Amino acid sequence: MSDSDGGTGPLLLGVRHHGPGSARAVRAALEAAGPRTVLIEGPPEADALIALAADEDMRPPVALLAHVVDEPGRSAFWPLAEFSPEWVAIRWALDHGVPARFIDLPATHTLAWGREETEDKENEGDKEASGEGASEKRERAGEGEPGGLPSEPAEAVRIDPLAVLAETAGYDDAERWWEDVIEHRGASDGDAFAPFEVLGEAMGALREAFGTGGHERDLVREAYMRLQVRAAQREFGDDVAVVCGAWHVPALRQRTTVAADRALLKGLPKAKADMTWVPWTHRRLSRMSGYGAGIDSPGWYGHLFGAADRPIERWMTKVARLLRDEDRPVSSAHVIEAVRLADTLAAMRGRPLPGLTETTDAVRAVMCEGSDVPLSLVHDRLVVGDVLGEVPAAAPAVPLQRDLDRLQRRLRLKPEAQERELELDLRKENDAGRSRLLHRLRLLGIEWGEPATSRGSTGTFRETWRLRWEPELAVRVAEAGVWGTTVLAAATAKAETDAVGARSLADVTGLAERCLLAELPDALPVVMRILADRAALDADVGHLAQALPALVRSLRYGDVRGTGTEALAEVAAGLAERVFVGLPPACAALDADAAEEMRGHVDAVHGAVGLLGEGEGEGEGQGEDSASRGGIRGRWHGVLRTLSGRDTVPGVVRGRAVRLLLDDGALGQEEAARLMGLVLSPGTEPADAAAWIEGFVGGGSGGGMLLVHDERLLGLVDAWLTGVPGDAFTDVLPLLRRTFSAYEPGVRRTLGELVRRGPGTRGGATATATASGIPGFAPDLDAARADAVLPVLRLLLGLDETEDADGPGDSRTNDSRANDSSTNDNGADDNDLVGVGR
């Protein structure tokens, strides 16, 4: 076999990784040469995995994954797409019964080498998300392995060979030059080896001018490649074909001694590594993903490789189909005109064929009517794409991955590259199983799904997840394999270990909540024991207040999932009692920042008590547990009254305590107005009064609407504010501005109108309504106005008007039905209906 320089030796096929033109040229050259073996740039540990490429269940894009056995997080990827020259060479060798081997530096050295300079790589900011990547430019030029070696020291000056060649040819865009020279030409025009000879000469000139181009570590890799090529020549003679990055071709031609090459490899660090195939995505092949695979448009390149003829026409048809699916009016005439415009642009720009730039310009002008909004959809779905590869079950995998695959099949939850929302109804067995799996994976650090806010319901029996499978999750699965061989066992062991190592009480309570969501019955007792011990020893009221909400939420989730939460309820009740006892002393003598933090704790505890005391007031015969919860809310109201009446408690906390009592109906409006009047009296420091107002009506708690509908309180605030001395007003202004700026614009506008009209400070609501002329303020409910709303509400709720014998407009009928506390067939209580109407 002749070398590309005309002499004897191995056939060197220099390529660009993930280049469809290179892939076509490699296939043509292999067909013409018919080598006895094919050597491919890649880790030799993957030789045993090459046969899997012929499996019918193997669908690129895929990647070779290497990871350190005792440190799975240290890993490297070698991605391969259908249009990658390396993948084409592998498939050609398998189809023709020719041995194929990888000849790059073993992953055992690559991974160990990276361990020594992780810090340098992070500072350089040019690494793969797995922690072992080479620079993007290096991959884009085709001079490094797809996974990449650790990056060079930061001071190394690196060049981009494609950019240099493009600039020499008069191009300002390396991608466009590569398309014109390589991608837009056929396999060959009579000489299958011509493209490789030209590209090899160009790379030789660049290496002569720039040396290693800043890629010093390539010297070691190339020394190992030369040794492997010599070994193959001893076995097969010169009938050897080598598929590698074009940057390495001059080095593989170089005449060196075996001793010199072995000297370069002496003393390399080692790490025990495992390898397997994992699915990959087109999005991860794009440069924007951070993996440095080096192509901006994997979807476009895949199309160029797969289109046997008329690639531009076929591409425009794909674009038209996508836009039609999105309800864009695109006809056949649009497709024809877009093709014509792309051809015209290519001719005007002196290009042999329309490239991605010309097709994009044509799509924007013809199909998108000049708008970049639908064009961005085309770029995301087609130019980049969301293709997710598949790996056969025979591929090596850790036991945890096997169990995860089994659960995904059983639950019909297939990984997908494109993000999608998944609505779960926990009352259904399959949906509950999906929820358990996703929560367990999150506990293990495998972020396949992210919880999202449910748009359809606020009930605890519904969950919404945002799912997206990323290739690096395979690394997370390998890392989590140290905890167990199944998802359940691994999540249980991880939860127990996290509970022991938790730094705060809030961390343990949050972990208890996650254990309930993931349904880990074996881990929960361990977590609860640690939680009880931490709660008994922790005297910080802030820590206790932070821990209580998560604990109470766990009770609700445990109820809906049918999980026993008796022990959890006991700990929650004990924690609440300790908060009740310790909160008043803890609120004394606090500075402004500590007082604001304590107000947040008071809000959190109030919400938790509201859930913990849901059984209160439900009547007799509700059981002992309900009776035990019934006093919790009353005791909490006692704590709030204590906070509201102590002068040593900061104003923001006292104001919030009064507001919470008012919202719960434990404090009358007259009493709230009296307390506000006392605080806003001239004897109170303006700063403390402003803080009290912030606590009472601030924090996004609906305080603006309270002032709108109770002009007595608004009058008190207005009278106090207008009476603040000028020197003190400057101090209280920032706090008041923060308080009122949090209100919605409509609320602020209404308050401004009420203040301008002059709300009464002592005349009551009736006097204010009379003076201002604003309808809707009266001593009692206006039944006639409320009844007028009922027909509209019935229409919105889908209620049958015949359910009321006297009709929906009869307030007496609705009131009598409300007193019966009866519920209609649609589950809507008429008592609630009348209350809303009025």
pLDDT over threshold 60, residue 213: no
Rounded Cα–Cα distance for residues 552 and 495 (Å): 19
Bridge-based pairing of strands 420-425 and 62-68 is unpaired
Q: How high is the pLDDT of residue 702?
A: 63
pLDDT digits (tens, 9 = 90+) for 633-648: 888 888 888 888 888 8
Over range 677-704, report the average pLDDT: 75
Q: Quote the Cα angle for 831-611-502, to 5°.
A: 160
Over range 537-545, report the average pLDDT: 74
Q: How high is the pLDDT of residue 759?
A: 55
Over range 194-214, report the average pLDDT: 80
Who wins on pLDDT, 441 or 21? 441
pLDDT digits (tens, 9 = 90+) for 174-184: 777 777 777 66
pLDDT over threshold 60, residue 463: yes
Rounded Cα–Cα distance for residues 477 and 444 (Å): 8
Is residue 36 a contact partner of residue 43, using CB atoms and an 8 Å limit? Answer: no
In the chain, % of residues over pLDDT 70: 77
Over range 224-248, report the average pLDDT: 92
Of 65-79, 224-238, 242-256, 719-733, the range with the lowest mean pLDDT is: 719-733
Backbone angles phi, psi at 450, to 5 degrees: -125, 125
Q: How high is the pLDDT of residue 831?
A: 36
Q: How high is the pLDDT of residue 134?
A: 35
Is residue 788 a contact partner of residue 722, using CB atoms and an 8 Å limit? Answer: no
Of 116-130, 162-176, 186-200, 380-394, the range with the lowest mean pLDDT is: 116-130
Residue 7, C-beta contacts closer than 8 angstroms, at least 6 positions apart: none
Over range 290-313, report the average pLDDT: 79
* CA torsion, ordered 694, 700, 703, 705, to nearest 10 deg: 150
Q: How high is the pLDDT of residue 147?
A: 39
pLDDT digits (tens, 9 = 90+) for 343-354: 999 999 888 888
pLDDT over threshold 70, residue 765: no
Q: How high is the pLDDT of residue 135?
A: 33
Domain ranges of the chain: 11-52+73-266, 307-384, 399-487, 783-837
Residue 131 pLDDT grade (very low, low, confident, very high; cuts 50, 70, 90)? very low
Tally Cβ neighbours within 10 Å of residue 171.
18
Who wins on pLDDT, 229 or 351? 229
Over range 746-767, report the average pLDDT: 64
Over range 642-659, report the average pLDDT: 86
Residue 649 pLDDT grade (very low, low, confident, very high; cuts 50, 70, 90)? confident
pLDDT over threshold 90, residue 164: no
Strand order in the sheet with 449-452: 420-425, 462-467, 449-452
pLDDT over threshold 70, residue 93: yes
pLDDT digits (tens, 9 = 90+) for 785-826: 888 888 888 888 877 654 444 444 444 444 433 334 333 333
Over range 771-784, report the average pLDDT: 57
Bridge-based pairing of strands 273-279 and 62-68 is antiparallel
Over range 388-406, report the average pLDDT: 89
pLDDT over threshold 60, residue 125: no
Who wins on pLDDT, 253 or 190? 253
Average pLDDT, the chain: 77
Bridge partners (DSSP) of residue 618 are none
Rounded Cα–Cα distance for residues 435 and 449 (Å): 10
pLDDT over threshold 80, residue 27: yes
pLDDT digits (tens, 9 = 90+) for 58-73: 999 999 988 888 887 7
Over range 295-320, report the average pLDDT: 89
Over range 374-392, report the average pLDDT: 90
Amino acid at 730: T
pLDDT over threshold 90, residue 773: no
pLDDT digits (tens, 9 = 90+) for 30-49: 999 999 999 999 999 999 99
Q: How high is the pLDDT of residue 692?
A: 81
Is residue 644 a contact partner of residue 659, using CB atoms and an 8 Å limit? Answer: no
pTM of the prediction?
0.66
Is residue 196 a contact partner of residue 29, using CB atoms and an 8 Å limit? Answer: yes
pLDDT over threshold 70, residue 830: no
Residue 582 pLDDT grade (very low, low, confident, very high; cuts 50, 70, 90)? confident
pLDDT over threshold 70, residue 610: yes
Backbone angles phi, psi at 813, to 5 degrees: -60, -45
User: Count of residues for the chain?
Assistant: 838
pLDDT digits (tens, 9 = 90+) for 508-531: 878 887 888 888 888 878 887 887
Over range 750-770, report the average pLDDT: 58
Q: How high is the pLDDT of residue 665?
A: 83
Is residue 277 a contact partner of residue 58, using CB atoms and an 8 Å limit? Answer: yes
Residue 331 pLDDT grade (very low, low, confident, very high; cuts 50, 70, 90)? very high
pLDDT over threshold 80, residue 161: no
Q: Which two tokens stand for residue 28?
A: 């043509």
Nearest CA-CA partner of 566 in 499, 629, 483, 614: 629
Rounded Cα–Cα distance for residues 365 and 347 (Å): 17
Q: How high is the pLDDT of residue 572?
A: 75
